Structure 1
Amino acid sequence: MPDPSTYRPAPGTIPDTPGVYRFYDPSGRVIYVGKAKSLRQRLSSYFADVWTLHSRTQQMVTTASRVDWVTVGTEVEALQLEFNWIKAYDPRFNVRYRDDKSYPYLAVTLDEAYPRLQVMRGAKRKGVRYFGPYAHAWAIRETLDLLLRVFPARTCSSGVFKRAGQIGRPCLLGYIGKCSAPCVDRVSEAEHRQIVEDFCDFMAGKTDTMVKKLEREMYAASDELDFERAARIRDDLGALRRAVEKQAVVLGDGTDADVVAFADDPLEAAVQVFHVRGGRVRGQRGWIVEKTEDLSAGDLVHHFCSQIYGSEAGAEAADLPKELLVPELPADVDALTDWLSKLRGSRVTIRVPQRGDKKALAETVARNAQQSLQQHKLRRAGDLSTRSKALEEVAEALGMQTAPLRIECYDVSQIQGTDVVASMVVFEDGLARKSEYRRFAINGATDDVSAISEVLRRRFARYLDSKVELDELSGEEDVSRPGIDPTTGRPRKFAYPPQLVVVDGGQPQVNVAAQVLLDLGVDDIAICGLAKRLEEVWLPDDDFPVILPRASEGLYLLQRVRDEAHRFAITYHRQKRSKRMTASTLDAVPGLGEIRRKALLRHFGSLKRLKAASVEEVAEVHGIGRRTAESILRTLNGEAAPPEPGAKGEAAQTDRAARPAGGTT
């Protein structure tokens, strides 16, 4: 085990001031970022006896090869710098908030001319307002079904919206009154946006205002003896009340707060948060995080606030509530409060509830967190130990001195030498790291062996170039971000070498992979191949494969890595093949270049829609005239081109010239 004392800073060189520190691995990659009120006290704790440290901290300090730090003036500055560095470097040993499931949101695309209401998952983006998260997507659709009769906003996709406008006929929702049909100009852009804004106000908690407004309209219609309109508004009121009843009132004072609770063990923690808006629970969300060190509840609150609110508040300030109810205050609560208040644009309060309804709700959230942790343990029993066991089994089977913490797997996809592509997938600590995936278009290779040779040569040539660049930077005075490209500000591609390279194939693929690394002078990376036929593990220059037991966790890990590489490669291959087939069809149109082909496909979305369009609709595309449109449709429909002007006269003259001079015979 490496000794952290080899890179321990000299006594007295660490300042006793607030700051942020970074641990690096031997390749210059940042593996941990932390902040401290006193850098001297905090960093000294990492260089105590290794065996007294938390198991995850033990692994971090023995993986690292150096540490540096930056001093700042205040804790707020340290908090901001820590958040920026975690976002830039994505350190593998920092607490990472991975959802225990993918939560759906009710999203409103306010950045579009005609905003759309839809179910949305994944990362949040600017210009979209989110409500939720909800436990199930059907809950969002059920709520929308009730509210669309009151707020008939658009819910269709861009393709359906455009198509309806082209044919001048709305979809079914437009006919049954659940869409105001802006696609056919039944309402103007401003009127439709007002409908959407009213919907957002209602979902944000202004339910009483909307109900009172409808009640006034209903009574006014009744006084005017317009009983049909009054009955319609009465039904709308019923729909609104049913939607409101689905969200129970938990805080009678109309509080806007997030209630956070934790349940943890020495290795992991379950986090649950209830989003309360207007006194009602609008959504619930949960995470399972791996603890990088011995973290208290206050430390978990710090990591939760900095990662969740720091990243999401940048996209939508409304995500930050006025109040955070937590089980324990973090040590830097004042700095955290100031930072979150700055992000929100108004005061944010962090406190521990002591009594009453808020205390009772916090206890409910804590019970949910405890149940979530128990379910996680049952669902992934021994997951951490299983991953460690799998890596150890792989290392033992391949004769490696240490477990391969980073594994890269390569696969090739092709059909008889056409559209040859390759994929590279990355697993770190036994888990897929999708941000590191890469794909390659292969030119000149006709079989899997030559393709593997090309892709590995390209990948490790880039690694060697990055290594040379890092060596040059290491001589400079300021190497603050060795893992980040100074021109783009993003992590360097191919800068980090794997401990193990896996290729999809048998002995030929493994031997050519080993030869490529030997030619490039890379001699510290293990190589193996996994053959599909009998799941045999092949090593370079071995005549016989390594046979792992069918129940082996190491074999299961290699299979997962190989299958993920295959999935990623075949997806890219299908994309290229589809693009080539589409382009080849339009290539037959005389005078149609690449730019106009792309414009046509962007406008219509597919060849099928383009083929079904009229000449006038095709001619509406920028750069396409009527004659070109006619030529396109003739080619797609397999029709013969009409004779050129004057061709008939020339044929007649030729016919007359062939006749005898005396006239007809």
Structure 2
Amino acid sequence: MADPSSYRPAPGQIPDSPGVYRFRDEHRRVIYVGKAKSLRQRLASYFQDLAGLHPRTATMVTTAASVEWTVVSTEVEALQLEYSWIKEYDPRFNVKYRDDKSYPSLAVTMNEEYPRVQVMRGPKKKGVRYFGPYGHAWAIRETVDLMLRVFPVRTCSAGVFKRSAQIGRPCLLGYIGKCSAPCVGRVTPEEHRELAEDFCDFMAGRTGAYLSRLEQQMHEAAEEMEYEKAARLRDDIGALRRAMEKNAVVFTDATDADLIAVAEDELEAAVQIFHVRGGRVRGQRGWVTDKVEAVDTAGLVEHALQQLYGEESGEAVPKEVLVPALPEDAAALGEWLAGRRGSGVSLRIPQRGDKKALMETVHRNAQQSLALHKTKRASDLTTRSRALEEISEALGLDGAPLRIECFDISHLQGEDVVASMVVFEDGLARKSEYRRFQIKTFEGQDDVRSMHEVVSRRFRRYLQEKLKTGEWSPEDGEEGENPLAEDDGRPKRFAYPPQLVVVDGGQPQVAAAKRALDALGIDDVAVCGLAKRLEEVWLPGEDDPVVLPRSSEGLYLLQRVRDEAHRFAIQYQRNKRGKRLKAGPLDEVPGLGESRRQALVKHFGSVKKLRQATIDQICEVPGIGRKTAETVAAALARSVPAGPAVNTATGEIIEDETPPPRVGAPPGGSRGTSSERGTEQ
């Protein structure tokens, strides 16, 4: 008997969305399939005290050894997918849908003199047109009720039809206009069959021409002031459009296809495959892989196809393979798939309709799979401990680096040069201690000098805090009030030194960071760099890098730290550049709104050309009068480029090395400690 707590998902891993879940035993056999409006709430109910569970449920959760789930869009999709998997796996603890019933379908008995529309189950019969399957019989009846407004086809049984013909009076549907009443001769057999054929054509998807014809009739009735007829046609059109709504999980035709979706980041990728057979999702599989080489989505799709269909015991190739991106050699890959199948295979990207909708569902599952993988890997205490130990051994540290700080430089062609510092403690991000820097000494594409400056500034502040407490005596004569103290005298976060400094880069950046620490006399902080190209770890003074295995948890942690610093630096640089570009000389012209500013720039092509224009030329712009033109010319004549560190709203110099304000905090409010201090200053 298994303990449910041994495989219970960690808090936050289960999505709060509709889906289907499967419990598996120790042999990986599916023992229970269920659906839920909220996967998080439903699965949480299984992991309560066993004494509070139904005996059968308690037996199920103690027999199971793992649980997995699939995210869908709606509850109806969840119901249909649940049914498909119960039929597929035949779980021992499931009660619903364990009989031999199949999905109900909408059937039109074209083999009868007066075709009838009805709900049918079981094997298909010759001469009957089928549409569906549907998740519920009531869903079919709702569709039929909408369609009978426009196509009043017979729906009654043979007994009711015969009885009405004998008494010469139709049933209620004949009186309210939802049946053409062929039983009493209101229409001929040929006219009724034509109605049934139109019904089938509309259900088969040939809807455009019929809706256009109805709309034309509605407009003609309105022009002739037959408003009641026009209103009835309007309602008919609305009813048909509601009946056209389809579902993304169960197709209306017998589609055989595999849908492949990919969710990825810079380090890993999750692949999800839905197998659709006979119009229904028959199975699902997926995996998460490390991106060992630089590969895009198309390359990941190609690898997935090779893994899925390449082995002799692999999946059978269906008629259609739907992918998010086509590989470069899609033609050759299509020929290879056709050879594996023995006939033609359509390898394409779905563009519209049901298949595109289902592809979006598959992609959501891939995103969920990747997020779940990362959550498990990052939150596992054992994994984090192993990662810190691997880093310590690879770098030759005295102990595990419990606090790691990483620095990265970001700029755009040498302009708006900024830097970021992120902090990881015990292998987890401490976003409240992130910092950002503006490079003060120069502008240019010199990451080495920028790295030296930012490391020097960070650890100079650390030494100033030690000076305040008397733990350090400066050799360069710096004295004065400590700028790092809070109002209540508590030290700021720069007071805590890291055990390891990681820089984004190779030998030059590592050497610059080491020189900065040596100049300050700091010898108890280790330094390393992580180069993006081959994910090599560089140490100061070493000619060869330290190469960690791709499966190393230590390398994975260093990559996470480096990528977080890169993300934080790019975010700050983009925000800073956006503010600089937005604050132009035209913004200071009183009475000149956004529309007229855009009109001026569009007319002349740039602010530079606008500055060279005369007042008469400015007056040629629509909406610009002479007085406004004079004001614009005067403002442009006075304007000078703003310095990169000037706040355009207040004119004050932007301070650095202070935590940005908490998102949503009022001006002058508290700094906050738990939210990420990563917004623009």
TM-score of the alignment, normalized to the shorter chain, above 0.5:
no
User: RCO greater where, 1 or 2, for CA within 8 Å and sep 6 or more?
Assistant: 1
TM-score, structure 1 as length reference = 0.33
Structure index of larger Rg? 2
More helix by share: 1
TM (norm. structure 2) is 0.32
